[in-house]
Chain A
Amino acid sequence: MESDVSLPRIEPLRSTRDLPTGTVEVAEIRLSGLPRGAVLVLCSAAGLDTHAPELMNALAEHGYETLAAAPGGPGLTEPELVAAIDGLLVVLTERGWQREQVGVIGYGEAGRAALLAAGAMRLGAAVSVSPSGVLDGPVPTLRTPWLGLFGELGTPPEAVATLRRLLADAPEFSRLVVYPGADADFFRGAADALGHAASFDSWQRVVEWLNVRVVPRPSPYAELWASRQEPKPSDHPRQGSAR
């Protein structure tokens, strides 16, 4: 995530939010101008202080506003977790972001929350980085394209294979990537070659996954143009089948 171009580092704004599941601490980076999109970062409570600020700055370099939070402890049920994420998305809605203009990334224990969000909501994109416990409950039917990144030493390969099989027939696209020789912490970077490669590649994939899926916020002129348009023929299926 380091960049040779030194951009000013942005200190995330810290505040608390009342969610249906209780009050949580959140961190935010708001951007001026026309941000590309928004990302909801789900991490552990400790991650909010350690990993999240750097990640949020890196996403800002790609034009994404961010909201980071620990969606809840291990005690939450799946519906509660989804309700908590829903509550966090309201914060982004207040900033004018529609759901398809939002990507969600979950790290580690919050990785499963990102997968659940991909099943429960129609967002722009979802990513789980080194998620733990992805097979602890039923695998949701995807409504949002989902990227899963795993370290070979952090997640049993059989679990990844099972998940891949369960997602194969999903109505939305998914991709699962396993980094050979990498442990569960691969995304934090490592000095050894495999760890470094995993960290570098996984960040590239995260950014690309968002860039090709999160709906860009239209510029004022793009909105003007859209308001002038009749619905195009391609808004409707135009291709009949001959039989």
Chain B
Amino acid sequence: MTQPSSRPVRYIDDDRDLPRFRVNRAAMVDPDVFAREQERIFDKVWLYVGHETELTKPNDFKTRTVAGRPLIFARDRRGVVQVWVNSCPHRGAMICREPAGNARFMTCFYHGWSFDTSGRLVSVPGDTAYGPDFVRPGLAAPPQVDSYRGFVFVSFNPDVEPLADYLAEATEFIDLVCDQSESGMQVLEGTHEYSVKANWKLLVENSYDGYHAVSTHQRYFEMVMASGAELDATALGDSIGVALGNGHAASVGGPNTGGMFGRPLSAAAQAERQGRFESLRGRHGAAWVDRMTGARNLVIFPNLVIIDLVMGVVIRKIDPVRPDYMEVTAWELVPPEEGAELRKQRLDNFLTFWGPGGLASPDDVEALETCQRSFAAHRELPWSDVSRGMVSAVPLGSDELQMRTWWRRWNELVNDEVLPPEPHDPPGDRFRGERLELQDQGTSV
């Protein structure tokens, strides 16, 4: 008797006639798929490593894992952001074993070779044993490092396209986040770190899934309402899903939807926030700032999530570890000029909504872990359905265009199958206001 092949003919069933879009659950359990993802996605595209504002002083460093590689994310002596492979060129020990710190020199604890933040080998104990002509190896670096508005990416593919081309139309949504501070948005010290016993792609899907909010997060919304908020159900529906090229996509709320996911702001905090938007109108135009005040859940393919509820911005990095296990790191991005009261409420929102022990994220984790457990039956029930909104003229944020966009890119890279994008009408004008540069018009500083 021959064994049935564990690999289905296709992982994606994109039927435009019905229409119906399905993902084969083997993609979430199969170690072969996992290996192909590493090779065809994580070794090939741009990947987020960290934000420039996490490194404030010369010789500040953070250690990070990107695509399974241990990295040192540092600002060197001259203030230049550098990314190094955290492995000693001597015989491999990790050079830096701290999560964060400040050091001009890092000394490998195995045999004591010492390197500076510019990657140079500066000392070798007993170096006469190597002779005068020894070629002293410096630290290795990913072949490509670049940044967009403070977001630093690396690629392990020397021939990767330029970062700005890779980010495609997603840059517009990064701009909508970054323009919220005139002095530049800043990542706060500290991280949320948690793990999920589920395939990493399930959290990608979940990160811009508007459909699940009311059911999965009932408990959270009850808390918000109990705190005196008036939840406008029509506002929840005031959103669209957009594909941004190269697998990036977002669910995007209309103007003023950015505050509705938290406990209401105090009057003073509300006034401060409005004041900032007013001054930004003079700088970037009213239409752009109207867009800014809406919620947005953005996924930069493959694993960077930026969720901007305006009064709380989370940067989330999703790291696949095994087919059924991922690690998640999250940071909070803030306008540094924000007042203490508004900051306090922002942090409250960040913790109660997204915190690993908050009132929302644990419910997401629970949902994803039950998915993964049930995928043990993927042969009996092979397909997950991701069709919602295929029939819509303009898909809503609660539709599933975002996930389909991501999966089609995944399919292209992992399975060499190119599927055409979905035809939809352009979104309304409210979602298309352009960014203007009205530098200090009529005002003097």
Which residues of A line the B interface, CB within 8 A?
A: 145, 170-173, 175, 211-213, 215-216, 218-219, 221-222, 224-225, 232, 234-235, 237-243
Contacts and interface: CB of A to CB of B under 8 A. Distances in A.
B107 A242 contact: no
B123 A239 contact: no
Interface residues of B, number: 42
B104 A239 contact: no
Contact of B122 (A173, A222, A234, A241): A222
B127 A221 contact: yes
A173 B57 contact: yes
4 nearest CB pairs, A to B: A212-B103, A173-B57, A242-B164, A173-B102
A239 B147 contact: yes
Interface in B103-130: 103-107, 114, 118-120, 122-124, 127-128, 130
Contact of B104 (A212, A222, A232): A212
Contacts, number: 93
A175 B101 CA distance: 11
Interface of B: 57-60, 76, 78, 80-82, 102-107, 114, 118-120, 122-124, 127-128, 130-132, 134-136, 138, 145-149, 152, 162-164, 167, 171
Contacts of B59: 145, 173, 213
Contacts of A237: 78, 80
25 contacts: A170-B57, A173-B60, A212-B104, A212-B106, A212-B107, A218-B122, A218-B123, A221-B130, A221-B132, A222-B136, A234-B76, A234-B80, A234-B118, A237-B78, A238-B80, A239-B80, A239-B82, A239-B145, A241-B148, A241-B149, A242-B146, A242-B147, A242-B148, A242-B149, A242-B163
Given A145-B102, A224-B132, A235-B118, A241 B123 contact: no
Contacts of A242: 146-149, 162-164, 167, 171
B104 A213 contact: yes
Contact of A221 (B82, B114, B120, B134): B134
B81 A232 contact: no
Given A145-B104, A172-B57, 16 more contacts: A145-B59, A212-B102, A218-B123, A219-B124, A221-B130, A221-B131, A222-B122, A222-B123, A225-B134, A232-B120, A232-B138, A234-B82, A237-B80, A239-B146, A242-B163, A242-B171
Contacts of A212: 102-107
A225 B145 CA distance: 27
Nearest to A36: B123
Contacts of B128: 219, 221
Most buried by A among B76, B127, B164, B171: B127
B119 to A, nearest CB: 6
Contacts of B149: 241-243
Contacts of B114: 216
Nearest to A236: B80
Given A219-B123, A221-B134, A239-B146, A213 B103 contact: yes
Nearest to B103: A212
A172 to B, nearest CB: 6
Contacts of A235: 118
Contacts of B124: 219, 222
Contacts of B146: 239-242
Given A216-B122, A221-B130, A234-B119, A241 B147 contact: yes
A221 B127 CA distance: 7
A172 B58 contact: yes
A218 B120 CA distance: 12
A171 B114 CA distance: 24
B53 to A, nearest CB: 13
A239 B145 CA distance: 7
A69 B387 CA distance: 78
Contacts of A173: 57-60, 102
A223 to B, nearest CB: 10
A241 B138 CA distance: 25
A215 B145 CA distance: 27
A219 B127 contact: yes
Contacts of B80: 234, 237-239
A175 to B, nearest CB: 8
Contacts of A145: 59, 102, 104
A225 B136 contact: yes
A212 B58 CA distance: 13
A139 B353 CA distance: 41
Contacts of B60: 173
A168 to B, nearest CB: 9
Most buried by B among A171, A211, A225, A235: A225
Contacts of B58: 171-173
B295 to A, nearest CB: 24
A219 B57 CA distance: 29
Nearest to B131: A221
A204 B384 CA distance: 57
Contacts of A218: 122-123
Nearest to B80: A237
B148 A215 contact: no
Given A172-B57, A173-B58, A222-B136, A216 B123 contact: yes
